[in-house]
Amino acid sequence: RPHSCPRHSGARTMLPLLLLLLATAHGLDDLPTLVAPVLASSSLGGQKTASTFVLDQPRCVFTNVSKDTVIWLVVADPRAVPDFNNSVEPGGPGREFQQFLNSTFAYMTLNTTILNYPCPKNPGDITVLRVGSETRCAKDKKRPTCNGPLPGPGPYRVKFLALDGSKPVAQTAWSEPITLRTAQPSGNIPVPGSGHSAGMIALTSILSILFAILLAGLVAMLLWGSDASSGSSTFSKPEAVTVQRYNTHHVYDQPAARL
C-alpha cells in the first residue's frame, strides 16, 4: 500500500511528458530525431572561448541517409527553437550569419557531406568541430553560411540537420543551452560592472608589489643571516635570486626587476 502512492503520482507526471514527446516527435516535418549534439569533452582544453565552442562531430548519428546527404549545423537563439523551420534554405533570408541576433535568430553553417563523418571513426582522427572559428567571412554578406565568431555569450542551442538536396531528411534533437565565457576583456559585448576588473587589477598589482618588497626583505635577512653564520654566500645567493623571480615574474615583472 505505501508503494501505490508514488506510482500514481509517477503516472500522472508521465502522461503529459509522453504527450509532449509525441508532440515533439511529430513536429513540423515528421523527421526522425536523433541524439543531440554535445560539447567535446573538456579534457581537450579550450572547449569554450568568448566567441567559439567545440562540439563532437556527428559520427555514427545519421546512419540511415544516402551518401550525398549534406549535414548542416544549426546555431540558434533558444527563442528560435520551438518553431524552427527545417525547410528554410541555408544561408537564405532568415538564416544569414551576418544578421544573427539582429534580424535572424538562427543560422546554418559547417555544411559537409555525410562522407566526412565516417562511422566508426578511425583511431587518431580529430572528431570535433569548432563553432565560430572563421573570422575572414564574418562581415561578408556573400558568405551567409560563414562559421563566424559568435556575437556574444549566448546562450545558444545547436542541432545537426541532414538535407538531401533542399529536402530535410533527418535531424538531431537540440543541444542543451550553451553559454560562452565572458571573462575576456576584448569581448564584443560590454560586461556590466566591468569597472570592477580594473580595480581588481590595481589592487592585485599593489598587493604583489608589497609582497615582492616583503619577500626581498626576507631574502636580504636570510642572505645576511647565512653570510654571518657560515660565509658560504656563493651558494645561497643564486638560490635567493631564483626565489625572488619565481614569486613575482608572472604578475608584475617590471617593479620586481627594479627592486
Which of 64, 197, 230, 232 forms a contact with ligand NAG (CB under 6 A)? 64
DSSP 3-state of 42: helix
229 binds ligand NAG (CB under 6 A): no
DSSP 3-state of 107: strand
C-alpha cell, 118: 565516417
Taking CB under 6 A as the binding criterion, the range among 37-45, 53-61, 86-94, 172-180 that sits at the site for ligand NAG is 86-94
Cα-based torsion angle of the residue sequence 137, 139, 142, 146 in order, rounded to the nearest 10 degrees: 40
Q: What mask of x and - would describe binding to ligand NAG in positions 15 to 54, judged by CB under 6 A?
A: -------------x---x----------------------
- Distance (Å, rounded) from C-alpha 158 to C-alpha 258? 52
The count of residues interacting with ligand NAG (CB under 6 A) is: 14
Residues in the chain: 259
Return the number of the residue (102 or 186) whose C-beta is nearest ligand NAG. Answer: 102
Taking CB under 6 A as the binding criterion, the range among 50-58, 83-91, 219-227, 247-255 that sits at the site for ligand NAG is 83-91
Taking CB under 6 A as the binding criterion, the range among 18-26, 33-41, 84-92, 179-187 that sits at the site for ligand NAG is 84-92
- 113 touches 62 (CB < 8 A): no
- 54 touches 48 (CB < 8 A): yes
Alpha carbon separation from 36 to 57, 62, 81, 157, 184 (Å, rounded): 11, 11, 13, 10, 29
Which of 52, 57, 104, 145 forms a contact with ligand NAG (CB under 6 A)? 145
Which of 24, 41, 85, 204 forms a contact with ligand NAG (CB under 6 A)? 85
CB of 178 to ligand NAG, least distance (A): 22
CB of 96 to ligand NAG, least distance (A): 10
Return the number of the residue (34 or 209) whose C-beta is nearest ligand NAG. Answer: 34
- Distance (Å, rounded) from C-alpha 131 to C-alpha 53? 5
- Distance (Å, rounded) from C-alpha 208 to C-alpha 112? 51
- Beta-sheet strands, E only, within the chain: 33-34, 53-56, 70-76, 106-113, 128-131, 157-164, 167-172
Which of 31, 36, 88, 138 forms a contact with ligand NAG (CB under 6 A)? 88
CB of 68 to ligand NAG, least distance (A): 10
Binding residues vs ligand NAG (CB under 6 A): 28, 32, 64, 70, 85, 87-88, 90-91, 102-103, 111-112, 145
